[in-house]
Chains A and B, each alone.
Chain A
Amino acid sequence: MSHIELHHLCKSYDQNTFAVEDATVAIEKGEFFILVGPSGCGKSTMLRMIAGLESISAGELVIDKQLANHLPPSKRNLSMVFQNYALYPHLTVEENILFGLKVRKVKKAVQKQRCEDAAKLLGLSDYLKRKPRELSGGQRQRVALARAVVSDAPICLMDEPLSNLDAKLRGQMRTEIRQLQRKLGITMIYVTHDQVEAMTMGDRIMVLRDGKIQQIGTPLEIYNHPQNLFVATFIGAPPMNISKAMVDHENKQLILKDMLCIPLTEEQMKNVTSDVVYIGIRPEQIAHGKGSSRDMTFPVSLTNVEVLGNETVLSFPVGENNWKAKWLGQWPLDIHKKTEISFSMDQIYVFDENTEEVVISPVWKEHVLKEVLTVESR
């Protein structure tokens, strides 16, 4: 049963341009749903429309099978965690956590119980009498979470809740939020611009750009089968390498300016209609040295080498573009030296030049993977 449904949801602030256009999606009960995109793509606007903090210009918002377009925020049965946490600086942690319950005139005993439970859950028991300014960033974040937890609302909205934390704490809170959501079984809608958060936390991801939905799917679907050039380059770090290539329809190959000729199979060729395409290859699919005969092998001169301890990121020019490769292990190679790299032709993506939609993508052997897993677990 869908918990929240959007039907052609639109928002326009100035009546000339759309901040969110035609968003249609059904979010399941207990799902961790992520809205991701670059800043200004409309993801926060969409979240605020669901919360009722922003009016809906057009389209329908359905919560629990009930049309919620004109419901006030308090009647939508949800909680929200803000980017700056929105803690009341003049109230103690306990008063902050209980603010919503006091408003709803929940019984004192119940209030106390729920506050204690939430504090214990989030490790705040020792800080209940403190003011928010006496807490560290991570603790404030937990207070904001506790406020969402005590409300007992079946839906929780989060607007970039981790962006004010340092990298280490962010990693920790990522796991904590995910575990919390699983434990409480709430429906979570989570806005972020961080693709790592999107990939690691979400059951499903919606990628947005300029107010339009680019793709909705599980993290692996988004990663393995990006529907267009934007999604391909947005998800993945370092991003997918992209270059323009000419299509040689006669010889059934793609020609990358003076560098490469990539032969295509008959079947793949059918999908390619235009004369110019973008080809893409993930950095982790580029290997060191000569590959097998089916692989493309060519020499490049390195412009940058970043050794990260467990992996190495190399940069090198390919045609007009700068490509990156990610190799496992430590490769302290000299800059400006020639080195040989290769990638499998099965791993390339091809995007149409005009529509930027994907026309060829690698085969994703999901069922094989699943079979292996089931065999192993036996």
Chain B
Amino acid sequence: MNLAEVERVNVRNEVEEGERVKQKIEEFQVVNKESFWKRTKNVRIAMLYLLPSILLFSVFLFYPMIKTVYLSFFLTDSKGNAAIFVGLENYQYLLESARFQKSMVSTGLFVLYTVPTSVIIALFLALLANEKLRGIGFFRTIFSSTMGMSVAASAVIWLFLFHPTVGTINHFLGLFGIPAVRWLLDPTWALISIAITTVWMNIGFSFLIILGGLQNIDTTLYESADIDGAGYFYQLRRITMPMLSPTLFFIITITFINSFQSFGQVDILTRGGPAESTNLIVYSIYQDAFINYQFGTASAQAIILFIIVFVLTLLQFKFGERKVHYQ
């Protein structure tokens, strides 16, 4: 018997087996005779539990989202009511607008500055804090403390630190003879200053998640590697990083989305200036909508931001996940 024949016999056997299973089930099946009302009891209880979330999401998420899509096709009056339908003109206008293009570039640069830096610093701190040392709990608390701080409070702290004449940072640089930097006033430095603030704010959360990921790695893996004679950096590269990859992937995605959505620190530190160098996209949306009362273009920007984040996140999942080792 050749291979094709064997294959055919196998397929036939499978079909026969399938028939047999169906017949037996039909023959011995016991039909549930409870009423529809009784049968759906679990579903109704589940809905009851879901109701608060569904309500909140509908009011504060789904409705605004649909409304934003709707408004992005209109010119609006000063109260934000849709006035004239313009189709895709809002989008067309935006894509041609130099201001919007500049905002996109700033946002792109900002994301580039903040995401890798946040994750690398948080990873470094987490690796340090994962060592078993006396009093390590103190450092873990300190390193994760920015998580508990509001955007406004942290921005105000950095506002003082960045102050060109009385700020601590310039004072410190002065000790080494480095001339004062006009942190928030210089168009090239302003974006970097905001990025520094954002990185600082991100670290707490990222640190905590990465530390959690590190502590989830089975210690016997390291012990086994110790017996094999693997050094610290070899273990870091061959064990820690692969085992941590799901956590890192998660934290990179979250930081990435958060960076795109930064608003508070911009509003407090620079208000989009100087020379619109820190006019990140969400701040630009805010300005258009609530200062210029251009709800139509603001909505269109929001939709563009949504699409960009959505597509980039999809790409991340598609290409990034190949390097992730889930257990």
Partners in one complex: yes
Residues 215-231 of B, flagged 1 when their CB comes within 8 A of A and 0 if not, give: 00010110111111110
List of B residues within 8 angstroms of A104 by Cβ: 228-229
Report the minimal beta-carbon distance from A205 to chain B, rounded to whole angstroms: 25
Q: Is the CB of A82 within 8 A of B224?
A: yes
Report the minimal beta-carbon distance from A104 to chain B, rounded to whole angstroms: 6
- Among residues 216 to 270 in chain B, which have CB atoms less than 8 Å away from a CB atom of chain A? 218, 220-221, 223-230, 234, 238-239, 242-243, 245
List of B residues within 8 angstroms of A151 by Cβ: 228
Q: Is the CB of A80 within 8 A of B325?
A: no
Among A84-92, A253-261, A294-302, which stretch is in contact with chain B? A84-92
Q: Is the CB of B223 within 8 A of A53?
A: yes
Cβ of B29 within 8 Å of any chain A Cβ, yes or no, is no
Partner of A78, one of B227, B242, B327: B227
Given A53-B223, A84-B218, A86-B223, CB of A133 within 8 Å of CB of B228: no
Q: How far is the CA of A84 from the CA of B220 in the complex (A)?
A: 8
Cβ of A74 within 8 Å of any chain B Cβ, yes or no, is yes
Query: Tally of A-B residue pairs with Cβ under 8 A?
Result: 63
Given A86-B220, A86-B221, CB of A74 within 8 Å of CB of B243: no
Q: Is the CB of A103 within 8 A of B327?
A: no
Partner of A103, one of B218, B221, B225, B243: B225
Residue of B nearest to A74 (CB): B229
Report the minimal beta-carbon distance from A145 to chain B, rounded to whole angstroms: 13
List of B residues within 8 angstroms of A83 by Cβ: 220
List of B residues within 8 angstroms of A51 by Cβ: 223, 227
List of B residues within 8 angstroms of A319 by Cβ: none
Q: How far is the CA of A86 from the CA of B230 in the complex (A)?
A: 15
- Among residues 69 to 85 in chain A, which have CB atoms less than 8 Å away from a CB atom of chain B? 72-75, 78-80, 82-84
Partner of A89, one of B224, B226, B230, B243: B243
- Chain B contributes a number of interface residues (CB within 8 A of A) equal to 19
Residue of A nearest to B325 (CB): A90
Partner of B228, one of A53, A84, A103: A103
For chain A, give the interface size range: 20 to 34
Cβ of A99 within 8 Å of any chain B Cβ, yes or no, is yes
List of A residues within 8 angstroms of B218 by Cβ: 84, 86
List of A residues within 8 angstroms of B243 by Cβ: 89-90
Q: How far is the CA of A242 from the CA of B314 in the complex (A)?
A: 70
Residues 111-142 of B, flagged 1 when their CB comes within 8 A of A and 0 if not, give: 00000000000000000000000000000000
Report the minimal beta-carbon distance from A149 to chain B, rounded to whole angstroms: 14
Q: How far is the CA of A240 from the CA of B42 in the complex (A)?
A: 54
Q: Is the CB of A100 within 8 A of B220?
A: no
Q: Is the CB of B224 within 8 A of A80?
A: yes
Report the minimal beta-carbon distance from A154 to chain B, rounded to whole angstroms: 14
List of B residues within 8 angstroms of A74 by Cβ: 226-230
Report the minimal beta-carbon distance from B242 to chain A, rounded to whole angstroms: 4
Q: Is the CB of A86 within 8 A of B224?
A: yes
List of A residues within 8 angstroms of B220 by Cβ: 82-84, 86
Report the minimal beta-carbon distance from A377 to chain B, rounded to whole angstroms: 43
List of B residues within 8 angstroms of A99 by Cβ: 225, 228, 230, 238
Q: How far is the CA of A52 from the CA of B325 in the complex (A)?
A: 30
Residue of B nearest to A82 (CB): B220
Listed by A's residue number, 10 A-B pairs whose Cβ atoms lie within 8 Å are A51-B227, A74-B226, A74-B230, A79-B227, A82-B224, A83-B220, A86-B221, A86-B223, A99-B228, A133-B327
Hey, which bits of chain B sit against chain A, CB under 8 A? 218, 220-221, 223-230, 234, 238-239, 242-243, 245, 325, 327
What are the 10 A-B residue pairs with the smallest beta carbon separation, nearest first? A74-B229, A100-B228, A90-B325, A86-B220, A90-B242, A86-B224, A103-B230, A73-B227, A82-B220, A73-B226
